[in-house]
A and B are shown apart, each in its own frame.
Chain A
Amino acid sequence: MTEPPTPAHSPKRSTVRSLLRIWPYARPIRWYLAGSTASAMVASLAGLLIPLVLKQIVDGPVSKHDSSGLWWPAALLLVLGLAEALFFGLRRWMLARPLSGVERTMRADLYARLQRLPVTFHDRWASGQLLSRATSDMFTIRLFLAFPLVFLIVNSMVFLVGIAIMFALDWQLAVIAVLPAAPLIMLCSYFERRYSAAARLAQDQNGDLATIVEESVLGIRILKAFGRHRTMAQRFRAQARELRGTELNKARLLANLWAVIVGLPELALGTALAVGVVQVAHDTTTAGTLVAFLSTALALRWPVESLGWLLAYSNEAATATDRFFEVLDAPLADADDVVTATGPDSRPDSDIRDGIRFEGVRFRYPDAPADTPDLLQGVDLHIRHGETMALVGTTGSGKTSMTALLPRLYDPSAGRITLDGADITALSRGRLRELVSVAFEEPTLFSASVRENVLMGAPDADDAALQRALDVAQAQFVRALPQGVDTQVGEQGLSLSGGQRQRLALARAVVGAPDFLVLDDPLSALDVHTEALVEQALRRVLAGTTALVVAHRPSTVLLADRVAMLVDGRIAAVGTHHELLETSPAYRELMSGERVPA
């Protein structure tokens, strides 16, 4: 799951270029962003001015021991204090909803895109990798817009204004106080860089650890059956120790970083204090100025310290953006489709009742090693209109892959497939998949009610159709579920047995009375008795449709009118079950398991 994605990474762009790509999403909230930045600026400046007013108080009324002169500066102080608080609040409040909206839109776009990317894309990418893009990366981007973006601007301004104030107060002290700023920023960004490298390593190791946890839980039956949890625990411990080492390294870097952040400014302040006192003693400056100066210098510590992590965070956000666009830039499944017929009339000409034709179809998985032969090496097969064709072949011969070509989950590398005379690449994918209905070998149910899961196959079908489909699949057990067809199943609902899931998947495939039906070993998880009942019902459905049925056993083969045998990537023989039994020793062996003497 945590396997790093294999797809070629686009060359690393600059942080700024990457971040600029967020703009289309940030554009609708640009005024909020500007407002938030302005608010933060006002608040920060107010905070910066407070020490100046304090200076006025100390130098003026206080040193003159005149309490009546306090009121004006006091009122000013109150205004500044309130402004600081309210504008900082306003800044956050203003962005809250718009920013969540941006994150939401980006996530929705990512999800929508992923759904429409070709299956080959999903083959290459572990779902965990995709998930982290939809969750933590989105979060990083939202946070970037909320803090680093705003504060990079605001803190730079505050820093400049603060320095200006300090220079205005006492340029000599200001030079001393500002001196450490340059090395501070440099050291901070040096440590941040090394720290983020260590952090990335820790993240990867964390992912590996998660993989071990995942496997130990998913394979718990095997581990228990063989009493192997100790071996697994050892692997886990080794991995966890490695992670601990990296984390300790992170802590060491952090310790150094903080030592710099705390140490350098204090050093400068101590020096400034000594020099300032000397100046006051020589009456070149006032005590009030010294106080104002020191508190301004203190107020500037945060903008300086923050620059390091603001930059590091921007870097992280840039990576998150790149990861986001890796998905959004991937070509859609129908990117290079040439749909000649679109709209409602895209149905293959119903007058030509030609059934399904595979013509010279070759296929290999895009990620197959280069030196392996094609999986399908020129398949020619004609399934006549209304006919049910069984597809047999040894394990791994490419039967399932062949069924995946019909709804265009994969495209053949050569050759063509036609439905009632129309090339399937000339149909829109939506239309094609409306025509072709599939029951997969692996019956997947989604977190939804039984009704929704079954009616996926035909959104417009009514309750009667639902009942018929459930009856065909012998899925009467549904009625005994707590809420009948409205019971939630899938990851977030009741978990069903393999046989039950398989029957629902079968019901899903047949519910819309599709023109073309593909069943991939649809009865493998059923016991003999249920299998017989499903077969009986299925026969009626198959009578009204053109079907391709992958079969492992004679009982399933008997559902079909004819049988096609896939050998070495080609159709080696086509005929009825009995014909093939008589003429093909290979078929006999496949069906009976008895090795026929050559």
Chain B
Amino acid sequence: MNDTGTVLAGPRPTARHSNDPEAAVEAETLDEATLVEEQEQLSGADQPLTEPEPPAAVAEGEDIPVPPGAPRALLRSLMGPHRKRIVLAVLMIVFQQAALQVGPLLVSVAIDRGIPALRGHDAGPLIAVTAGYLGCAAVATLLQRWFIRLSGLINQDILLDMRRRIFRHAQLLSLDFHERYTSGRIISRATSDVDAVRELLNEGLQELLSVALQIVYISGLLLVLDWRLGLVSVASAVPVFLLQRSYRLRSKNIYRRSRTAVATVIVRFTETMNGIRPVQAFRREEANDASFGVPNAEYAKSNADSMISMARFVCSARVTANVWIIGVVLWGAYLVAGRELELGVLAAFVLYLRRLFDPIDQLAMFVNGYQSAAAALEKIAGLLAHEPSVPEPVEAVPLPETPEHARPGATTGGREILFDRVGFSYRTGKQVLPEFSLRIPAGQSVAVVGATGAGKSTLAKLLARFYDPTGGRVLLDGVDLRELATAELRKGVVMVTQESFLFSGTVADNIAVGRPGAGREEVEAAARAIGAHGFISELPEGYDTDVRKRGGRISAGQRQLVAFARALLADPAVLILDEATSSLDVPGERAVQEAMRTVLAGRTAVIIAHRLSTVEIADRVLVMEQGRIVEDGTPTDLIAGTGRFSRLHEAWRDSLV
């Protein structure tokens, strides 16, 4: 039955991560383009570059380390709340198996006692035995039914708990973890790995329990019936166990190979399907057929190996079992012939022995299911054991109420930002931002410019608390960000990235992510303010257009407008815009900037842009280079000066109309 089970748990689509540069923030440091003053310096770009580290994607297999004992601890904590129900379920199966195994015993009683009694015209024993047999059958049936229901309840509650834990934990983990671990793997933890555990819980454990109990009961009965024959029969467990162990070890390796192969198959497949345009445009079809063939063949081979290994086990175990049965029966017959054993006892032995070895195939399937569930549980435990590097505060501090905030219905006033001797390095120790301090007064709009890899995004992410600084503190109105509860922090600080991801649902739903519960007028007002109302009302169903369905074709630029509207709706005290206009055309960008002038009034804003047009709406400009702030001043002052910004601005103006 397990064979059917695994079908439902087939591998699920691993999602690809969005193609936004954010996804590779760490690799950004690889970028050679450093804002340098002279062309010559840049043309020497082959100079030894920053060591490419840390590898952003870890190859499948070298997963995050799993603390020893974590899988077991996870299992314990999942089962803990259900202890009583689990005990009850086990008791049920204990009695159910007992009732089921009594059958042959009653057959032996019927033959040895019932027949002679009946010949003496006493139907009593036969009636008793028959009633007993039917009663046991009824009890076994009912207990089986209850057990399946109860264990279903326990399993589902455990799975629900486990799913929720994975989900919650994945949400709590910091961005740098998500970037390293890749979306596909987190998704497969919450889907296919949970499925593997589910299969084991649903089918495997019950089967294992039944099989184990069956073996125990039958062994016990056989020993009671006749200890000599019983002992010999029970001894057969030794070779079968040894065979089972060697099969388990063999299949473990094969299983691993098969998982790796199927993962490669899935990655290749999804990559091709998601990149079908370049695949066709660059005529990759035949080359892809060949390169897909490699993991496909490897997967087929490991499948065949696993089937062969199972064939070997089933065959050798059966041979052992059958030879053993024959031996026992022969000996028993010899004993009966010598009048040392009753005929009925031998009959019972014959029936029980076949049953004793029946579960061999089930055992083989259980081993398979166990193998995959154990691997899955280990991966899940590893994920759950990973400490979020940006933890929630133990004791949250509220943001101070300012007079502006107290005013009812007021658009949120800005808040002061202070970077207090902040520094940031990667886990590998590579320094991204050397120690610096920076104060941004409430209400000020600051533009941050600099080349890719200069540290602009890191600065923004520290402020949004996507990362925590490795040194110093980031203060919002005097409160360390680390002391703010998430809800409080997000009322204060919101970041709009160039990320163009839309959640399934309508356009209105997507904007309302900024403030759940906002009414349609508020959503529309936000969209209007940013100049997105036009294109949204032209969609087939306006604000109610499903972004994943027919007609919901929304271009990259339009998605950025939706993201903006979302941020406006959130109405934060501090707004961070990270490359938020990269896909807009000039009029779109201009419209956004117009809107920003009013939106940003009274707010603190940090604006990061490759393009200098954004700078025009800023009160202050920071120029960053290799993690340092090298220029700081009002736009007018900097343009008038002779620094980097002035030259950059000139070059940019030349590129315009």
Inter-chain contact B343/A232, CB cutoff 8 Å? no
Contact with A along B166-186 (1 / 0, CB 8 A): 011011100100110011101
Complex formed: what's the CA distance from A491 to B584 in Å? 27
Complex formed: what's the CA distance from A111 to B299 in Å? 15
Inter-chain contact A593/B118, CB cutoff 8 Å? no
Size bin of chain A's contact surface? 35 or more
Residues of B within 8 A of A51 (CB): 350
Complex formed: what's the CA distance from A476 to B30 in Å? 10
Report the minimum CB–CB distance from A150 to chain B (whole Å): 13
Q: Is B528 an interface residue (CB 8 A)?
A: no
B319: nearest chain-A partner, CB-CB: A85
Inter-chain contact B283/A108, CB cutoff 8 Å? no
Report the minimum CB–CB distance from A377 to chain B (whole Å): 15
B43: nearest chain-A partner, CB-CB: A533
Inter-chain contact A217/B15, CB cutoff 8 Å? yes
Complex formed: what's the CA distance from A143 to B591 in Å? 59
Residues of A within 8 A of B35 (CB): 529
Report the minimum CB–CB distance from B470 to chain A (whole Å): 19
Given A100-B307, A210-B191, A529-B42, A409-B570 contact (CB < 8 Å): no
Inter-chain contact A313/B289, CB cutoff 8 Å? no
Q: Is B425 an interface residue (CB 8 A)?
A: no
Complex formed: what's the CA distance from A291 to B657 in Å? 100
Report the minimum CB–CB distance from A205 to chain B (whole Å): 12
Q: Which of A115-140 contact B (CB under 8 A)?
A: 115-116, 119, 122, 127-128, 130-132, 134-137, 139-140
Residues of B within 8 A of A576 (CB): none
Inter-chain contact A224/B466, CB cutoff 8 Å? yes
Residues of A within 8 A of B655 (CB): 528, 532, 553-555, 558
Complex formed: what's the CA distance from A248 to B148 in Å? 10
Inter-chain contact B657/A591, CB cutoff 8 Å? yes
Q: Which of A173-230 contact B (CB under 8 A)?
A: 199, 202-203, 206, 209-211, 213-230
Q: Is B646 an interface residue (CB 8 A)?
A: no
Q: Is B212 an interface residue (CB 8 A)?
A: no
Q: Is A339 an interface residue (CB 8 A)?
A: no
Inter-chain contact B490/A395, CB cutoff 8 Å? no
Q: Is A5 an interface residue (CB 8 A)?
A: no
Inter-chain contact B7/A447, CB cutoff 8 Å? no
Complex formed: what's the CA distance from A448 to B287 in Å? 12
Residues of A within 8 A of B190 (CB): 210, 213
Inter-chain contact A273/B333, CB cutoff 8 Å? no
Q: Is A266 an interface residue (CB 8 A)?
A: yes
Complex formed: what's the CA distance from A216 to B110 in Å? 65
Report the minimum CB–CB distance from A201 to chain B (whole Å): 12
Complex formed: what's the CA distance from A67 to B347 in Å? 17
Binds B, one of A24-32, A152-160, A354-362, A364-372: A364-372
Q: Which of B315-347 contact A (CB under 8 A)?
A: 315-316, 318-319, 321-323, 325-326, 329-330, 333-334, 336-339, 343-344, 346-347
A127: nearest chain-B partner, CB-CB: B273
Binds A, one of B67-75, B401-409, B553-561: B553-561
Q: Is B22 an interface residue (CB 8 A)?
A: yes
Inter-chain contact B269/A111, CB cutoff 8 Å? yes
Contact with A along B1-24 (1 / 0, CB 8 A): 101101110111101111111111
Inter-chain contact A103/B657, CB cutoff 8 Å? no
Report the minimum CB–CB distance from A587 to chain B (whole Å): 10
Given A58-B347, A593-B590, A143-B10 contact (CB < 8 Å): no
Inter-chain contact A433/B280, CB cutoff 8 Å? yes
Inter-chain contact B267/A491, CB cutoff 8 Å? yes
- Name the one of A66, A368, A457, A477 contacting B551, with C-beta atoms under 8 angstroms: A368
Inter-chain contact A131/B3, CB cutoff 8 Å? no
Complex formed: what's the CA distance from A447 to B16 in Å? 12
Report the minimum CB–CB distance from B350 to chain A (whole Å): 5
Top 6 closest pairs, chain A to chain B, by CB: A136-B10, A89-B315, A251-B152, A593-B590, A498-B21, A227-B490
Inter-chain contact B278/A444, CB cutoff 8 Å? yes
Complex formed: what's the CA distance from A203 to B129 in Å? 46
Inter-chain contact A225/B497, CB cutoff 8 Å? yes
Q: Which of B545-595 contact A (CB under 8 A)?
A: 548-551, 553, 555-558, 563, 566, 570, 582-591
Q: Is A419 an interface residue (CB 8 A)?
A: no
Q: Is B119 an interface residue (CB 8 A)?
A: yes
Interface Cβ pair total, 8 Å cutoff: 619
Report the minimum CB–CB distance from B424 to chain A (whole Å): 17
Complex formed: what's the CA distance from A104 to B304 in Å? 11
Contact with A along B138-180 (1 / 0, CB 8 A): 1011101111110111011101100110011011100100110
Q: Is A513 an interface residue (CB 8 A)?
A: no
Complex formed: what's the CA distance from A400 to B100 in Å? 70
- Name the one of B156, B292, B329 contacting A77, with C-beta atoms under 8 angstroms: B329
- Name the one of A99, A210, A291, A396 contacting B187, with C-beta atoms under 8 angstroms: A210
Residues of B within 8 A of A269 (CB): 103, 133, 137
Complex formed: what's the CA distance from A442 to B19 in Å? 7
- Name the one of A92, A107, A229, A589 contacting B171, with C-beta atoms under 8 angstroms: A229
Inter-chain contact A456/B103, CB cutoff 8 Å? no
Binds B, one of A9-17, A343-351, A382-390, A478-486: A478-486
Q: Is B265 an interface residue (CB 8 A)?
A: yes
B569: nearest chain-A partner, CB-CB: A226
Report the minimum CB–CB distance from A149 to chain B (whole Å): 13
Q: Is A86 an interface residue (CB 8 A)?
A: yes
Complex formed: what's the CA distance from A481 to B513 in Å? 39
- Name the one of A240, A281, A395 contacting B584, with C-beta atoms under 8 angstroms: A395
Contacts A369-B550, A498-B20 aside, 13 further interface pairs with beta carbons under 8 A come to A91-B311, A143-B3, A210-B191, A217-B187, A221-B22, A221-B175, A395-B588, A438-B277, A476-B32, A482-B52, A491-B271, A525-B21, A558-B655
Q: Is A274 an interface residue (CB 8 A)?
A: yes
Complex formed: what's the CA distance from A225 to B574 in Å? 12
Given A281-B115, A409-B280, A446-B271, A237-B164 contact (CB < 8 Å): yes
Q: Is A323 an interface residue (CB 8 A)?
A: no
Complex formed: what's the CA distance from A581 to B586 in Å? 14
Inter-chain contact B27/A444, CB cutoff 8 Å? no
Inter-chain contact B337/A111, CB cutoff 8 Å? no
Report the minimum CB–CB distance from B433 to chain A (whole Å): 18
